[in-house]
């Protein structure tokens, strides 16, 4: 993948990925024009940080700028700029997942190529950005890459696990929430979904595995089950469904459940055509935004968050921020050095070589579960060091919810630190 | 069919997996049979796996205390109607929510969030793999998060989070103890108090096993008020299983609440020590324990070294006693000709904990304890926390320290025979 250097290019071109190859950057003329104008405006109003071609820092500030604008004006051109900017993390996540799949399942095809994964990654971008918190995460690109790679893995894992399941098992292993997503994707209104959701919950309560370890291979239920399920449904119908939902007999119930299982399976193997829509270049009013550039300064103003790790992300002073980061890195490097050899090895393979847990398990002769546990505890120890370094008692991070940012930062750091040290 | 445990799984570097050993799976499965309706048994199995693995992780890997909130017999009454279980971690409470869904579902039944006596500080989401060969810890959330960020779904009465909203399990061990309840929890509406007549009418309706999901049949406030109380929960379970609560079953479920002794509420089975054993033993049990006299004049072979095991600390007293201590003894019949006396002495300590001393003595008619007798201290899930045998067969003694509200069981074994007593501080 050829790196994009100029700011204009970074915010106005899209990656072309066909099959397993990166083909090149396609410029979007409208976005290009918009970006050029924004840069001119920034230069004339001499906004600190946005004007000059100042490398990574400037690039990130522009990303944040579009991000904030997209938050306040979701339908503006900001989204397209942001999507253009985030092509690399989508591409790298797609490539990583494609390669890991091949390495884990040699000789088996997932049915998708890198290009397909890339489309899925782009489709996941709005969700990923929805989770991004500029004040909590470090770099938007690494956040997006981790999020999307995790999303793609979850998709593949779920469809792989579903392969083990009979239709009846799959229905037991589908949450009400997921069933709702499946039905929504099929175009059913909430009212229309209720009877199906009622049947799903009833089925899960009534059709149970009869021996340990057998829940994936559940056989087709006997006729009696459909009878009881119909009874359950007809009894619950009045409280769960809108008045229009009629009574069902056993055969209708069975019929519906069979369809539902098929729908769930189809949902787990999305066709690329269904994903490939509305990804970039949505219409937005370019002119309107130009007035807003003056508000860019407020992006970088101080929030009043007392948590050090949070305020770390908000430190305006470049030097101070760098120093804090350097200190933290030192503390983490020291804590890493104190981990036992096996934990270090596991972390180095996971984050430095970016191997999957399963690959690490093969290399170390530990089970995958042991690898995950070892790594988890090691990360826990690094977190302890990080929290201790912040010189505030841990409980000063007033909300446990904020620990998520600590976890994110730590994973970023591990990747950076260990990929450097393994490649030195 | 391939075993899924050998199937490569595409996981994130940060995913937490715990293997389910084959023998544990079978053991939990066997224990889950005949616990109620088929759905109740299944929930008992799934929850049993999730809670056991998490409890073991916390206890063995983290070296932290982790004790199940309820014993098996009370827990099954909950599994009959709703999923989830609670683990006490010292002063903190962790609710374990298992999920079978492949889709990373994070939904907590309303009962665990809105019943004041059920809610916890933390909620861990544990996903069971399709072939039940491992679990994946999806992450955890606080009660506060569930109430403020969770999406309440009235359809099946649950609080939903997305997996992205969860805190990584990595953070649990380093930080869980640092947060106070007002950081992890928010206040919930108190539930109405049901009159016995109201409860009876609810039980009549919901006790019918034809009601497949009793938890959704009546407004939540009424339902919550009903199952918040152990006796009605038990009644509901019995009704749904077609059983009458028999005295013997009640006896199994009965827990001796030691702090009630201090208020004078003592069951007739627990007599004064002197009354049961005569003055000699009484003199022993009347001696004041404390830092100056950590040992007792009588008794032998405490097999327990002073050390901390599980939720109960088995060690010598280090803080001074405050308030009155209290001792009582009970006659235990192990076999028609084998009877012993179990005495319990409890001393409230300055720290708010209690020093508990257990004695197993021969009754005055018996010269000595049977040779093969053993005293076991168990967590309420049945895990052995400590055991002692009598070297000279005269007296077995065990002492430990427990926090208010803590539960433990004492089991006396002799050959094939055994008697178990449940206690709560």
> What's the pLDDT score for residue A342?
94
- If you measure CA to CA, which chain B residue comes closest to A182? B103
DSSP one-letter string for A315-339: ---HHHHHHHHHHHHHHHHHHHHTS
Using DSSP bridges, classify how beta strands B67-68 and B85-89 pair: parallel, antiparallel or unpaired.
antiparallel
Q: Indicate the number of domains in chain B.
A: 3
**Tens-place pLDDT, residues B144-182:** 999 999 999 999 999 999 998 999 999 999 999 989 999
pLDDT tier at B185 (50, 70, 90 boundaries)? very high
Distance CA A386, CA A380 (A): 10
3-state class (DSSP) for residue A248? coil
Mean pLDDT of B240-256: 60
Distance CA A31, CA A14 (A): 10
The yes-or-no verdict on residue B48 having pLDDT over 50 is yes
3-state class (DSSP) for residue A8? helix
Query: Is the domain of B270 the same as that of B239?
Result: no
A-interface mutation test, from B56, B174, B181, most A Cβ less than 10 A away: B174
Distance CA B382, CA B287 (A): 31
Q: Do B13 and A411 touch (CB under 8 A)?
A: yes
A-interface mutation test, from B80, B102, B213, most A Cβ less than 10 A away: B102
Residue ranges making up the domain that contains B227: 196-250
> What's the pLDDT score for residue B201?
93
**Tens-place pLDDT, residues B11-33:** 888 899 999 999 999 999 999 98
Distance CA A117, CA A115 (A): 5
Q: Which residues contact B201 (CB under 8 A, 6 or more apart)?
A: none
> What's the pLDDT score for residue B314?
44
Distance CA B199, CA A212 (A): 36
> What's the pLDDT score for residue A60?
82
Query: Is the domain of B61 the same as that of B104?
Result: yes
pLDDT tier at B79 (50, 70, 90 boundaries)? very high
Residue B244 lies in a domain: yes
Query: Is the domain of B174 the same as that of B202?
Result: no
Query: Is the domain of B107 the same as that of B71?
Result: yes
pLDDT > 90 fraction of chain B, expressed in percent and rounded: 42
Spell out which residues of chain A touch residue B1, defining contact as CB-CB under 8 Å: 217
Q: Distance from CA of residue B15 to its chain's centroid? A: 29
- Of B101, B130, B164, nearest to A178 by CB-CB distance is B101
- If you measure CA to CA, which chain A residue comes closest to B24? A212
> What's the pLDDT score for residue B20?
92
Spell out which residues of chain B touch residue A377, defining contact as CB-CB under 8 Å: 61, 173
Spell out which residues of chain A touch residue B94, defining contact as CB-CB under 8 Å: none
Measuring CA to CA, which residue among B383, B267, B393 is closest to residue B330? B267
Listed range (A111-115, A225-229, B90-94, B219-223) with the worst mean pLDDT: A111-115
Interface contact B147, partner A, CB < 8 A:
no
Say if residues B424 and B255 touch (Cβ distance below 8 Å): yes
Q: What is the CA radius of gyration of chain A?
A: 25
Give the residue ranges of chain A where pLDDT is below 70: 46-56, 135-138, 271-322, 391-398, 421-424
Query: Is the domain of B376 the same as that of B395?
Result: yes
3-state class (DSSP) for residue A192? helix
Measuring CA to CA, which residue among A300, A296, A336 is closest to residue A321? A300
Q: How far is A109 from chain B (nearest CA, A)?
A: 14
Query: Is the domain of B60 the same as that of B88?
Result: yes
Spell out which residues of chain A touch residue B168, defining contact as CB-CB under 8 Å: 379, 403-404, 407
Q: Which residues contact B215 (CB under 8 A, 6 or more apart)?
A: B81, B82, B109, B111, B157, B223
Q: Do A403 and B175 touch (CB under 8 A)?
A: yes
Report the first-to-last Cα separation within chain B, whole angstroms: 50
Residue B190 lies in a domain: no
Measuring CA to CA, which residue among A197, A210, A198 is closest to residue A169? A210
**Tens-place pLDDT, residues B107-138:** 999 999 999 999 999 999 999 988 898 999 99
Q: What is the CA radius of gyration of chain B?
A: 23
Q: Do A161 and B102 touch (CB under 8 A)?
A: yes
Spell out which residues of chain B touch residue A356, defining contact as CB-CB under 8 Å: 8, 10-11, 13
Interface contact B167, partner A, CB < 8 A:
yes
Say if residues A309 and A405 touch (Cβ distance below 8 Å): yes
Structure-token pair, residue A303: 């929030």
Structure-token pair, residue A165: 């399941």
Paired residues of B322 in beta bridges: none
Distance CA B390, CA B394 (A): 7
CB count in 10 Å sphere of residue B389: 16
> What's the pLDDT score for residue A291?
36
Most confident of A144-153, B303-312, B367-376, B403-412: A144-153
> What's the pLDDT score for residue A424?
46
Q: How far is B89 from chain A (nearest CA, A)?
A: 17
Spell out which residues of chain B touch residue A307, defining contact as CB-CB under 8 Å: none
Phi/psi of residue B253, nearest 5 degrees: -75, -20
CB count in 10 Å sphere of residue B41: 21
A-B contacts (CB, under 8 Å): 202
Residues 47-86 on B with a CB inside 8 Å of A are 57, 61
> What's the pLDDT score for residue A328?
81
So what's the ipTM on this one?
0.81
- If you measure CA to CA, which chain B residue comes closest to A146? B12
pLDDT tier at B281 (50, 70, 90 boundaries)? low
The yes-or-no verdict on residue B414 having pLDDT over 60 is yes
Cα angle at B80 between A227 and A195, to 5 degrees?
40
The yes-or-no verdict on residue B296 having pLDDT over 50 is no
> What's the pLDDT score for residue A109?
77
Structure-token pair, residue B281: 């033993």
Structure-token pair, residue B29: 């499965």
Query: Is the domain of B209 the same as that of B267?
Result: no
Helices (runs of H) and strands (runs of E) counted in chain B = 14, 20
Measuring CA to CA, which residue among B73, B60, B71 is closest to residue B409? B71
- Of A164, A194, A357, nearest to B130 by CB-CB distance is A164
Interface contact B105, partner A, CB < 8 A:
yes
pLDDT, greater one: B208 or A278: B208
Q: Do A157 and B15 touch (CB under 8 A)?
A: no
- Of A162, A206, A240, nearest to B102 by CB-CB distance is A162
B-interface mutation test, from A163, A177, A340, A355, most B Cβ less than 10 A away: A177
Distance CA B142, CA B84 (A): 15
> What's the pLDDT score for residue B130?
86
Q: How far is B199 from chain A (nearest CA, A)?
A: 22
Spell out which residues of chain B touch residue A191, defining contact as CB-CB under 8 Å: none
Distance CA A274, CA A120 (A): 10
- DSSP class of B117: T
Mean pLDDT of B339-366: 86
Say if residues A145 and A153 touch (Cβ distance below 8 Å): no
Query: Is the domain of B263 the same as that of B212?
Result: no
Query: Is the domain of B278 the same as that of B388?
Result: yes
Structure-token pair, residue A133: 């918190």
> What's the pLDDT score for residue A285?
40
Cα angle at B145 between B144 and B149, to 5 degrees?
125
Mean pLDDT of B264-275: 79
Spell out which residues of chain A touch residue B104, defining contact as CB-CB under 8 Å: 154
DSSP one-letter string for B222-239: HHHHHHHSHHHHHHHHHH
Structure-token pair, residue A404: 């998520």
Q: Do B13 and A357 touch (CB under 8 A)?
A: yes
Most confident of B216-220, B332-336, B351-355: B216-220
Cα angle at A244 between A243 and A245, to 5 degrees?
95
Q: Do A357 and B11 touch (CB under 8 A)?
A: yes
Q: Do A400 and B29 touch (CB under 8 A)?
A: no
Query: Is the domain of B302 the same as that of B403?
Result: yes
Beta strands (DSSP E) in B156-280 are 158-161, 256-257
> What's the pLDDT score for residue B280?
59
Distance CA B322, CA B350 (A): 6
Query: Is the domain of B142 the same as that of B243?
Result: no
Distance CA A246, CA B51 (A): 41
Query: Is the domain of B401 the same as that of B331?
Result: yes
Q: Which residues contact B181 (CB under 8 A, 6 or more apart)?
A: B121
CA distances from residue B82 to A205, B229, B253 in whole angstroms, order as listed? 11, 15, 20
Element (DSSP H or E) covering residue A39: helix A29-44
Spell out which residues of chain A touch residue B156, defining contact as CB-CB under 8 Å: 176, 201
The yes-or-no verdict on residue B366 having pLDDT over 70 is yes
- If you measure CA to CA, which chain B residue comes closest to A127? B164
Using DSSP bridges, classify how beta strands B384-389 and A21-27 pair: parallel, antiparallel or unpaired.
unpaired
Structure-token pair, residue A56: 């990574």
Distance CA A346, CA A342 (A): 6
Structure-token pair, residue A158: 């779920």
Paired residues of B110 in beta bridges: none
């Amino acid at each position: 993948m050829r790196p994009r250097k100029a700011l204009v290019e970074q915010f106005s071109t899209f990656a072309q990925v066909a099959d397993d190859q990166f083909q090149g950057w396609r410029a979007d003329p409208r976005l290009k024009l918009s970006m050029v104008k924004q840069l001119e405006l920034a230069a004339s109003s001499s906004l600190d940080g946005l004007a000059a071609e100042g490398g990574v820092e400037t690039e990130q500030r522009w990303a944040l700028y579009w991000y904030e604008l997209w938050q306040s004006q979701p339908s503006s051109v900001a989204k397209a700029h942001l999507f253009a900017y985030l092509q690399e993390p989508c591409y790298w996540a797609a490539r990583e997942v494609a390669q890991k799949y091949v390495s884990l399942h040699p000789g088996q095809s997932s049915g998708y190529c890198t290009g397909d994964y890339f489309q899925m990654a782009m489709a996941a971008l709005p969700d990923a950005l929805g989770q991004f918190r500029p004040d909590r995460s470090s770099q938007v690109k690494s956040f997006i890459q981790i999020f999307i790679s995790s999303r793609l893995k979850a998709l593949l894992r779920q469809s792989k696990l579903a392969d083990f399941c009979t239709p009846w098992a799959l229905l037991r292993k589908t949450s009400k929430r997921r069933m709702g997503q499946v039905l929504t994707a099929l175009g059913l209104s909430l009212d229309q979904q209720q009877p199906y959701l009622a049947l799903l919950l009833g089925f899960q309560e009534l059709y149970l595995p009869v021996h340990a370890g057998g829940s994936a291979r559940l056989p087709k239920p006997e006729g009696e089950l459909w009878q009881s399920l119909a009874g359950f449904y007809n009894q619950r119908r009045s409280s769960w469904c809108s008045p229009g939902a009629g009574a069902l007999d056993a055969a209708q119930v069975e019929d519906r459940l069979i369809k539902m299982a098929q729908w769930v399976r189809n949902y787990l193997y999305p066709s690329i055509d269904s994903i490939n829509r509305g990804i970039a270049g949505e219409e937005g009013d370019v002119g309107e935004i130009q007035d807003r550039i003056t508000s860019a300064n407020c992006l970088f103003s101080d929030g009043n968050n007392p948590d050090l790790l949070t305020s770390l992300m908000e430190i305006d002073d470049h030097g101070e921020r760098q120093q804090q980061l350097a200190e933290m890195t030192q503390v983490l490097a020291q804590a890493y050095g104190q981990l036992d050899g096996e934990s270090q090895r596991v972390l180095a393979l996971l984050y430095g070589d970016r191997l999957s847990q399963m690959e690490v398990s093969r290399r170390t002769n530990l089970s995958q579960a042991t690898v995950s546990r070892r790594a988890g505890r090691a990360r826990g120890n690094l977190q302890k060091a990080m929290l201790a370094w912040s010189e505030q008692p841990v409980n000063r991070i007033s909300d446990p919810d904020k620990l998520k940012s600590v976890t994110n930062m730590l994973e970023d750091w591990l990747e950076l630190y260990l990929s450097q040290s393994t490649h030195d | 069919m391939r075993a899924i445990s050998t199937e490569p799984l595409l996981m994130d570097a940060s995913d937490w997996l715990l293997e389910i050993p084959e023998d544990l799976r079978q053991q939990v499965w066997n224990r889950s049979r005949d616990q109620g309706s088929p759905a109740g048994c299944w929930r008992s199995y799934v929850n049993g796996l999730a809670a056991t693995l998490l409890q073991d992780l916390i206890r063995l890997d983290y070296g932290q205390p982790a004790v199940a909130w309820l014993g098996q017999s009370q827990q099954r009454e909950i599994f009959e109607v709703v999923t989830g279980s609670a683990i006490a971690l010292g002063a903190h409470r962790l609710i374990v929510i298992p999920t079978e869904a492949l889709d990373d579902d994070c939904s907590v039944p309303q009962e665990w969030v809105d019943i004041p006596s059920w809610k916890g500080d933390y909620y861990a989401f544990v996903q069971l793999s399709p072939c039940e060969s491992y679990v994946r810890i999806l992450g955890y959330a606080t009660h506060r998060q569930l109430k403020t960020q969770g999406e309440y779904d009235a359809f099946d009465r649950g609080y939903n989070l997305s997996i992205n909203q969860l805190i990584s399990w990595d953070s649990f061990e380093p930080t869980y103890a640092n947060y106070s309840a007002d950081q992890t929890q928010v206040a919930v509406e108190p539930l109405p108090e049901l009159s016995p007549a109201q409860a009876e009418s609810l039980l009549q309706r919901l006790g019918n096993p034809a009601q497949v999901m009793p938890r959704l049949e009546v407004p939540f406030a009424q339902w919550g008020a009903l199952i918040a109380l152990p006796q009605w929960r038990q009644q509901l379970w019995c009704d749904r299983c077609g059983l009458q609560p028999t005295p013997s079953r009640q006896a199994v479920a009965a827990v001796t609440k030691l702090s009630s002794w201090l208020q004078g509420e003592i069951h007739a089975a627990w007599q004064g020590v002197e009354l049961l054993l005569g003055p000699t033993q009484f003199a022993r049990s009347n001696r004041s324990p404390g830092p100056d006299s950590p040992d007792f004049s009588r008794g032998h072979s405490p097999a327990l070294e002073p050390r901390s095991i599980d939720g109960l600390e088995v060690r010598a007293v280090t803080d001074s006693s405050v308030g009155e201590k209290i001792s009582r003894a009970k006659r235990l019949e192990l076999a028609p000709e084998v009877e012993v006396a179990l005495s319990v002495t409890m001393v409230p300590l300055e720290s708010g904990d209690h020093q508990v001393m257990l004695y197993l003595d021969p009754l005055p008619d018996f010269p000595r304890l049977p040779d093969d007798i053993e005293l076991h201290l168990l967590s309420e899930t049945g895990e052995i926390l400590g055991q002692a045998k009598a070297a000279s067969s005269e007296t077995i003694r065990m002492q430990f320290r427990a926090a208010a509200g803590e539960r433990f069981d004492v089991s006396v074994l002799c050959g094939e025979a055994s008697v178990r007593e449940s206690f709560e501080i």
